[in-house]
Structure 1
Amino acid sequence: MTITTSLTTPLVAIVGITGKQGGSVARALIQSDQQYRIRGITRDVSKPAAKVFAEQGVELVQASLTVGNEEAAKQAFVGADIVFGVTNFPEHLDAGREIAEGKLIVDAVKSACPSLKLFVWSGIQSITELSGGRLQDANFFDSKAAVTAYARASGVPLAVVSPGYYMTNIFNAVSSALVAKGDGAYTFGFPMATTTRLPFADIPGDYGLYVRAAIERPEFGAGSELRAGTMCDLGEAMRELSEVSGKNITYEPISVDRFLATFPFKPLAPGLSHMYQSFEVNGFHGRKEPTEPALLGRKPKSWKEYLEGLGRDEVVKMLGLESK
C-alpha cells in the first residue's frame, strides 16, 4: 500500500512510532491493502527510524506524552479517526507514572478526536486481579491494566491488544542467567514449571498484525480484545534454542527464593517473581489463547521460526556464547 494524503481516508495516529510496538503497527498498516493516512508521534523526529517512516509518507509529530504536556498531547491527536496507544514502563520503572501517562493519552484522545472510531490500547491483564490479590505489585501488568480500566470507563471506543511475551526477553534472561554444567552444557530456569506455556511474540515483526486486525476485521473493533503470540512451553523453547544455536541448553526450574537472590536488578525482582508465579497458574493472557492466526493478515512467527530467521551465528551472539 502507498500511504495516502487523501482526506477521505482514515487518519491513524500511532504513539511511539519509533518503538517496537508502534513501529510494528505502522509497518502492518503500510502493508495493508486498505489505505490510511498515518501520523507517527515520537519525542524525536530526527531519529533514523522516524526518518524511514517519513520517507514512506508518514506524517511525524514531535511530542512528549508526559504529565505537564497535556496541551501538546491533545494537538498530537487532533483529527485522528483511529489511535494506537502504548506506554513505556521499562524507560522509568514507575507504575504510578505509567498510569498517569496512560490516562493522559486517553484524556487527550477523547478531547481532541470527536470523530474517533477506535482507540487501540496495548494492555495486559492485572496479575493482582487474576490471583485474587495473592500476588501484588506485578510491575507493569497491574499499571497497564489500570489504564485499560480507565479507558473503558471513559467511554472511548476501545479495543485492547495484549502483546504477548517478547521473544527478545528470553535472550535477555538466558544470557544473564545461564549456568555452565561442564562439557559445554548449560541450564537456565525461571521460577516456573517446565510445562508452563507462554505466548511467544516477535513484537517488532508481528504485533502490528493484531492491531491491524482490530482496526480492519468486522468481528473486532470497539469492545474487542486480541492476544498476540504463538504458544510454546518453556522446555520446548529451550530445546528449540539448543537446536538452532548448536549449544546444549536445558530448562531447569528454580525456586522463587533463588530467583530473588540471584536476579541482578533487585528493585524489579519481587514484581517479576509474582509475574512468573502468575504465568505458571494463569498464563500470560489470563488462561486465554492467542487470537487465531487465520484472522490476521499473515501467520505470525513461532519461536523456532524466529530463531531460524535470526540464524545460528546471531542466536549464539545474542546468548553471549560466541567464544564458548
Structure 2
Amino acid sequence: MVAPLTRTIVVYGATGAQGGAVARSLLQSTVGFSVRALTRNPLSPPAQELARLGAEVVQADGFNHDQMRAALTGAWGFWLNTNHHDPAFPTPEGVDDTIFGEHLISLAAEVGVKVLIYSTCESSSEHSHGKAVVKGMDNKNRVFRYGVNQPAFDAVIGAIPGWYMENFLSPEYAACFGGFPLRSDAEGYLTFASPHLGGQGKVPWLAVAEDFGDMIHGLFLDPAPYHGRTVQLFSDSITMEGLTALFSEVTGQKARFVPQATPAEFPTYGVGALEEIRDIFAFTQYTGGNFFGHPNDIQASQALKKAAREASRSQDGYELITIREYFAKHFGPKNIQG
C-alpha cells in the first residue's frame, strides 16, 4: 500500500552523502511527500540547493533537543543517520553515538513520528559469536534495536548501506588502498591493496548519489513489510580481482589487486575509521564474506529502486547502476555494455 499524500519526512543530515541523496529522491516523489531537511547551516550551498528543489530547510543541531523536537513535530517519517566517527563523541557529559541516536529516536517517538528509517549495521558480535567484533557496527545495531522497541512507531526499518562507490573518487580513500584508481604505483599499476573479503569475496558496492536515495524513498512508500527488519542496500557486487580487471577493461589503464595476507596488514595509522575498516575485514573473513551478516541479496534494492522511480516525476533510470557503468561515467571510455 502506497503512503497517503502530504506526509512530511524529516531528513537528518540532509546536506551529507546519505541524507542528501534521500532528500533529493523524496523531492521528486509524485506521492506527495514533503521534505523537511535538517542542517546545522541553512545558508550553506547544499542546503540552499535543497531549498531551491522544494525542501523546507530547517536549522537543527542533534545536540539541541529543543530544536530537534520542533523539527520533528508534525512529521510522519524520519530518516536518521548518525556518525560514530564524529569527533564530537564522546561529549564532556559522556554522550556517545549510541546514546545520541537513542535520544533522537526518543524525541521522534515522543512527538508522534510514525515511520523511522535508520542507517544501521548488523551486530558483528552476534554474527561472529564475539570472535570478530566491530564496535561501530554493534553500536549502530543497538540504536536500531532501540527504535524497534519503541511502541509509538508504526514501522522501524534498518537500512544497511554497502561500500560506497563514491570512495573511488576520494584521494584519501585511495591512499589507504594502494592508490587505486587515482594514483599509480612504482610499477605503473593502479593497485588495489587490501585483505580478501572472505568467502566468494564479492563486495556489495553502493552508488549513494544514484541509487541510495531511491532505495530509502522506496522504503517510505511502503514501510510496513519491512518493520523490524534490516535491509541490504547496494547497487552491484564484485570481487576485488574482478573490480580491478573491469577497471582495466573499461579505461584501458593497468590495474591490479594485491591481497594482504591478514587484516592486520591493513594500514590504519592510528586512525579510528581505518581501524574499523581493518576490523570489518576480520569480520567478513569470519562470516565467509558476508558484510551484511548474510549472503548478498540484491532483490530488495532492485525492487525499492523500481518503486521509487515509478513514483518519481522523472522515471528514467529504473535499474541500479553497475560498477562498469560507474567506472565508465567517472573514469572514461566508453563502452558500458555487456
Q: TM-score range by the shorter chain?
A: 0.7 to 0.9
Residue by residue, what CA displacement relative to the aligned partner does 1:251-309 show, whole Å, maximum 9, x if unpaired? 1210336525x333444454322211222324221124132414423222112211111
Q: Which residue of 2 aligns with 1:309?
A: 329
Unaligned runs of 5+ in 1: 1-6, 314-324
> What is the CA distance between 1:212 and its match in structure 2?
1.1
Matches within 5 A, 1:131-146: 131-136=128-133, 138-146=134-142
Percent same amino acid at aligned positions? 22
Question: Among 208, 211, 229, which residue is 1:203 paired with?
Answer: 208
Letter in 2 for 1:16: G
- Inter-partner Cα distance in structure 2 for 1:276 and 1:20: 23
- Inter-partner Cα distance in structure 1 for 2:5 and 2:321: 34
For normalisation by structure 1, the TM-score amounts to 0.84
Question: Among 118, 125, 128, which residue is 1:128 paired with?
Answer: 125
Unaligned runs of 5+ in 2: 310-317, 334-338
Question: Among 28, 50, 54, which residue is 1:31 paired with?
Answer: 28
Matches within 5 A, 1:1-324: 9-66=6-63, 69-92=64-87, 94=89, 97-113=96-112, 116-136=113-133, 138-155=134-151, 156=153, 157-170=155-168, 171=170, 172-178=172-178, 182-193=186-197, 195-217=200-222, 220-229=225-234, 230-256=236-262, 259-260=265-266, 262-280=267-285, 281-288=288-295, 289-290=297-298, 291-296=300-305, 297=309, 298-312=318-332
> What is the CA distance between 1:219 and its match in structure 2?
6.5
Q: Which residue of 1 aligns with 2:315?
A: none
- Inter-partner Cα distance in structure 1 for 2:206 and 2:75: 28
For normalisation by structure 2, the TM-score amounts to 0.80
Structure 2 SS opposite 1:247: coil
Q: Which moved more, 1:237-246 or 1:264-273?
A: 264-273
Q: Which moved more, 1:148-157 or 1:12-21?
A: 148-157
RMSD, matched Cα = 2.5
Letter in 1 for 2:188: G
Taking structure 1 as reference, are residues 268 and 293 closer, same or farther at Cα in structure 2, changes over 3 Å only? closer
Letter in 1 for 2:325: E
Which has a greater percent of helix?
Answer: 1
Taking structure 1 as reference, are residues 268 and 216 closer, same or farther at Cα in structure 2, changes over 3 Å only? closer
